[in-house]
């Protein structure tokens, strides 16, 4: 019972508790079950063969005796009754006229052939024949089989005992040898159990050398799972850190206009102001409200970008997108003249809303913060496998030392106009990153700034094929 106790563990909650078995116990049980099936089949065959063999011996004995008895069966009845060992052999002769001659034990009428019959509680093996007899005369010769049945019973007991010993031995050997067979998996389980969360990368398990292919495959799968867990943990930690920083910086940036708006409201409610002063404070309030609204809208777009995944990329006509953005920019900023320089056909896979947002923000920066009156939106496919979208303007430009920092959130250039949120270029950088590319500034041939989005050219054939199939 000691090994069985070690093979069982309780699992499940209080509502659905059940026993679970170790792999070693399962191997032993499988060996015992297999041995039970095989031994049961062999035992049945053996017992059947023993019974058939004993019956065959009895039939052979009857056949030998019948050679003498059939010469004169009626006379043989008296001889058998006197000389048969222990007077156990029985003989019954039935003639055509219905007369009957028999030993004290009378056999019932039976068809010709060998059969087993019970008379007065004793079992006999009987040979019934009409061979060498007058017409209508039937001879039945029988010998008792009680001793034969006792022998068969004893032999069956030995077979059952041997079967039980074989099953027990199989279970024991399965337990002993199963322990060696499952040792690599048990060791692997212990190795996995020792790897508690530490906040750092997990130590990989050895994936070879156990000698068991399944254990090596399991170790490889566990290592893959550890790698994914480490990656997910790192991504979660990075996302939480980014969210904390983002929330802290957002709160800081929003606190300034909200504080100014609160001050203006206090002044309006406590002081007796002239109409010009009231108008100036209301203008300042409106400016602060616009700044808060713009910042919140930009934060919303940044958050939406962070939730974007590869499934959102669709077929996008970059040339048409740039043309639409240019016309909308000229409508919003009448002083800005925008020219288009794009390839005739420029289709790729991307985020059309995100790319449009990037081009819109670039043109807004040129008009609002750069003071530009002219801008050129260009988009071309290059043999290097990239699509380059650029916005050139003739505005104030951007100092070289600020060209990287302005892509960070809430960072504004030294030449930027008042009222901005510092998130416009962060949105541009985010969209470039979501497309697997980058955003950067260069000197413009128009004398101002040149904002460049360098994006990998992604084929659209697969997507167009999927659309056609749908």
* Domain 310-469, classified CATH 1.10.10.10, yes or no: no
CA distance 289 to 57: 115
> What is the pLDDT at residue 470?
44
Which of the two residues, 459 and 315, has the higher pLDDT score?
A: 315
Q: What is the pTM of this model?
A: 0.45
* Strand 138-144 with 122-129, pairing: antiparallel
Report residue 242's pLDDT band, with 50, 70 and 90 as the boundaries: low
Contact of 351 with 434, CB cutoff 8 Å: yes
27-168 CATH, one of 3.30.160, 2.20.25, 3.30.450, 2.70.40: 3.30.450
CA distance 424 to 428: 7
pLDDT tens digits for 248-263? Answer: 656 655 676 788 788 8
pLDDT tens digits for 43-79? Answer: 888 878 877 887 788 788 777 777 766 666 655 665 5
**273 secondary structure, DSSP code:** -
> What is the pLDDT at residue 217?
74
Q: What is the DSSP string of 111-180?
A: -SEEEEEEETTEEEEEEEE-TT--TT-EEEEEEE-HHHHHHHHHHHHHHHHHHHHHHHHHHHHHHHHHHH
pLDDT tens digits for 189-240? Answer: 777 766 655 555 566 666 555 556 766 777 777 778 877 887 778 777 776 7
> What is the pLDDT at residue 318?
92
Report residue 326's pLDDT band, with 50, 70 and 90 as the boundaries: very high
Most confident among 127-131, 244-248, 377-381 (mean pLDDT): 377-381
Contact of 284 with 312, CB cutoff 8 Å: no
Q: What is the DSSP string of 218-263?
A: HHHHHHHHHHHHHHHHHHHHHHHHHHHHHHHHHHHHHHHHHHHHHH
CA distance 222 to 220: 5
CATH level 3 topology of 195-307: Helix Hairpins (1.10.287)
| Those residues with Cβ within 8 angstroms of residue 37's Cβ, 6 or more apart along the chain or in another chain | none
Domains 195-307 and 310-469 share a fold: no
Q: Kindly state the percentage of the chain with pLDDT values over 90.
A: 13
Mean pLDDT of 132-144: 83
Range of weakest confidence among 38-42, 257-261, 417-421, 440-444 = 417-421
Contact of 291 with 261, CB cutoff 8 Å: no
CA distance 353 to 68: 114
For the chain, domain boundaries: 27-168, 195-307, 310-469
Mean pLDDT of 335-349: 91
Question: SS3 for 213?
Answer: helix
Report residue 6's pLDDT band, with 50, 70 and 90 as the boundaries: very low
Contact of 31 with 171, CB cutoff 8 Å: yes
Contact of 210 with 184, CB cutoff 8 Å: yes
Contact of 360 with 325, CB cutoff 8 Å: yes
> What is the pLDDT at residue 3?
44
| CA distances in angstroms from 403 to 244, 434, 439, 441, 442, listed in the order given | 26, 20, 10, 6, 8
Q: In 9-96, which ranges are continuous DSSP H helix?
A: 23-69, 73-83
Range of weakest confidence among 149-158, 334-343, 357-366, 450-459 = 149-158
Q: Is the pLDDT of residue 187 over 50?
A: yes
């Amino acid at each position: 019972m000691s090994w069985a106790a070690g093979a069982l563990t309780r699992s499940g909650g209080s509502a659905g508790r059940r026993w679970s078995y170790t792999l070693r116990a399962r191997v032993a049980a499988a060996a015992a079950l297999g041995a039970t099936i095989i031994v049961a089949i062999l035992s049945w065959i053996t017992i059947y063969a023993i019974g058939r063999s004993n019956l065959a011996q009895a039939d052979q004995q009857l056949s030998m005796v019948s050679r003498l008895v059939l010469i004169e069966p009626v006379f043989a009845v008296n001889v058998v009754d006197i000389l048969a060992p222990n007077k156990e052999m029985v003989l019954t002769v039935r003639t055509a006229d219905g007369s009957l001659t028999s030993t004290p034990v009378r056999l019932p009428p039976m068809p010709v052939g060998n059969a087993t019959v019970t008379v007065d509680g004793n079992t006999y093996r009987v040979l019934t024949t009409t061979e060498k007899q007058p017409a209508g005369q039937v001879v039945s010769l029988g010998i008792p089989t009680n001793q034969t049945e006792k022998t068969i019973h004893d032999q069956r007991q030995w077979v059952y005992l041997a079967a039980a010993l074989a099953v027990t031995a199989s279970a024991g050997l399965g337990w002993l040898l199963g322990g060696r067979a499952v040792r690599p998996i048990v060791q692997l389980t212990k190795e996995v159990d020792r790897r508690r969360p530490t906040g750092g990368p997990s130590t990989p398990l050895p994936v070879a050398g156990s000698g068991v292919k399944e254990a090596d495959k399991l170790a490889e799968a566990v290592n893959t799972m550890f790698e994914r867990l480490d990656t997910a943990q790192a991504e979660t930690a990075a996302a939480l850190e980014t969210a904390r920083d983002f929330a802290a910086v957002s709160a800081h940036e929003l606190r300034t206009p909200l504080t100014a708006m609160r001050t203006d409201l206090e002044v309006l409610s406590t002081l007796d102001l002239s109409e010009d002063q009231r108008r100036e404070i209301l203008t300042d309030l409106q400016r602060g409200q616009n700044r808060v609204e713009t910042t919140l809208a930009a934060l919303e777009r940044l958050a939406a970008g962070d939730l974007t995944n590869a499934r959102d990329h669709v077929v996008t006509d970059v040339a048409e997108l740039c043309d639409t953005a240019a016309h909308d920019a000229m409508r919003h900023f009448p002083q800005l003249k925008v020219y288009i320089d794009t390839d005739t056909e420029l289709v790729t896979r991307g985020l059309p809303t995100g790319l449009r947002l990037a081009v819109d923000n670039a043109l807004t920066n040129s008009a609002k913060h750069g003071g530009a009156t002219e801008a050129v939106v260009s988009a071309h496919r290059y043999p290097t496998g990239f699509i380059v979208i650029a916005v050139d303007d003739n505005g104030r430009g951007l100092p070289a030392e600020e060209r990287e920092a302005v892509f960070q959130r809430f960072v504004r250039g030294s030449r930027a106009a008042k009222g901005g949120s510092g998130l416009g270029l962060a949105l541009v950088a985010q969209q470039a990153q979501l497309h697997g590319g980058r955003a950067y500034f260069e000197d413009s041939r128009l004398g101002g700034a040149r904002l460049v989005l360098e994006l990998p050219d992604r084929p659209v054939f697969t997507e167009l094929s999927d659309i056609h199939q749908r």
